[in-house]
């Protein structure tokens, strides 16, 4: 098991941020060159920005992607990704990309796992603007890439991927909660939900008083650690729903502190921690 020093944590946080920024920038670059492209072409652009020419294999044996057929509320579309193989320190999912082809910013999230904690299921909530393919791409520790994708239909006419109550969101910004089962035994894979109060704003709106656009304000990086060891880090974007929620599983071997560090696009940082006893009951 790798012991991750705090210095290394900071470094990985920083480097993954750079990755997302570079990806975003290059997608913008390629997108502006081709003005009217088909859906497949858009994916081609995203793919080449994300992973270049690397070959992606069919991921049916590696991942299962669960999405609703239709986005019911365009602002909150729950998605779940399951790992279909036993992850071990020798073979594990190193990176997981979530891509929503036809969203304004298609790369919704890039998860990085250090390989020291096995997981079976990962869920989050995304915004869906239009009829789109939604993709999960896993990079295995040996460098191989696997993809699964689902088609998601847009929601009805009255639904929009916008904040329902911006004032309420602003009032509670930065509140963080962990939700864990009442009881579990040491070594169990514990289903854990991380909830962060944040508007995760696209910044596309018009402020009627100032007549200027309010700048984007969204969560950029979330890092979860247990006793100082990284559980996962995720770089996020405006395609993640307001009040970001991530459900993950991890198996704490002994008692300790579950911690989360959040950084947003305005440079704010939020942290939260929770003590886990050896055996919760």
Partner 1 sequence: MKQVKTTRQYGIFINFRKIYANLLSLDTSLLFQKILKIQYSQTCVMFSLALILLTTSATGVMAGGGFQQIAPGLYFSSGVHQDFSKSNKGQIANTGFIVGSERVAIIDTGSSYQQGLRIREHVRAVTDLPIDYVIVTHMHPDHALGTSAFSKDSPQVIGHQNLADALARRESTYLNNMKRLLGDSAKDTQLVIPSKSVTTTEGMSLNLGDRWLYLTAYPTAHTNNDLSVFDTKTGTLWLSDLLFVERIPVIDGSLLGWLKVMDGLMASGCINTQHNRQCQPIVQVVPGHGPVVTAWQSALAKQHHYLEEIANQIRRIISKGGTISQAVKSVGLDEQGNWLLFNEYHGRNVTAAFAELEWE
With binding defined as CB under 8 A, does residue 11 bind partner 1?
A: no
Question: What sign has the CA pseudo-torsion 244, 245, 248, 253?
Answer: positive
Tokens encoding 51: 């992973």
Asked if residue 245 lies in contact with residue 194, where contact means CB atoms within 8 angstroms, the answer is: yes
With binding defined as CB under 8 A, does residue 140 bind partner 1?
A: no
- Cβ of residue 212: shortest distance to partner 1, in angstroms? 8
Q: Which is nearer to partner 1, 140 or 195 (CB)?
A: 195
Count of residues for the chain? 281
- Binding residues with partner 1: total (CB under 8 A): 73
Site for partner 1 in 208-237 (CB under 8 A): 208, 211, 213, 215-216
Tokens encoding 32: 């502006």
With binding defined as CB under 8 A, does residue 241 bind partner 1?
A: yes
Q: For 98-156, give the DSSP string.
A: EEETTSSS-EEEEEE--SSS--SEEEEEE---SSEEEEEEEEETTS-EEEEEEEEB---
Q: Which is nearer to partner 1, 145 or 222 (CB)?
A: 222
Chain position carrying tokens 């890439």: 145
With binding defined as CB under 8 A, does residue 26 bind partner 1?
A: no
- Cβ of residue 2: shortest distance to partner 1, in angstroms? 30
Site for partner 1 in 87-106 (CB under 8 A): 102-106
With binding defined as CB under 8 A, does residue 158 bind partner 1?
A: yes
With binding defined as CB under 8 A, does residue 243 bind partner 1?
A: yes
């Amino acid at each position: 098991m790798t012991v991750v020093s705090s210095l290394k944590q900071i470094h990985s946080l920083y480097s993954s941020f750079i990755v997302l920024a570079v990806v975003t920038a290059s997608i913008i670059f390629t997108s502006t060159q081709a003005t009217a492209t088909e859906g497949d072409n858009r994916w081609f652009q995203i793919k080449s920005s994300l992973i270049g020419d690397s070959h992606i294999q069919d991921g049916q044996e590696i991942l299962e992607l669960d999405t609703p057929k239709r986005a019911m509320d365009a602002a909150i579309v729950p998605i779940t990704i399951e790992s279909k193989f036993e992850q071990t320190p020798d073979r594990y999912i190193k990176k997981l990309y979530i891509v929503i082809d036809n969203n304004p910013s298609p790369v919704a999230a890039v998860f990085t796992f250090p390989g020291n904690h096995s997981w079976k299921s990962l869920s989050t909530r995304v915004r869906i603007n239009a009829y789109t393919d939604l993709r999960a791409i896993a990079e295995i520790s040996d460098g191989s890439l696997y993809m699964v994708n689902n088609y998601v239909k847009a929601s009805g006419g009255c639904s929009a991927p916008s904040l329902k109550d911006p004032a309420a969101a602003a009032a509670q910004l930065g509140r963080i909660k962990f939700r864990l089962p009442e009881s579990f035994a040491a070594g169990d894979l514990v289903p854990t939900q991380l909830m962060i109060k944040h508007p995760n704003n696209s910044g596309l709106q018009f402020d009627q008083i100032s007549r200027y656009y309010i700048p984007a304000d969204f969560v950029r990086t979330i890092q979860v650690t247990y006793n100082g060891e990284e559980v996962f880090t995720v770089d996020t974007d405006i395609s993640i729903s307001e009040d970001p929620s991530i459900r993950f599983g991890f198996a704490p071997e002994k008692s300790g502190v579950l911690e989360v560090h959040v950084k947003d696009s305005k440079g704010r940082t939020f942290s939260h921690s929770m003590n886990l006893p050896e055996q919760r009951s």
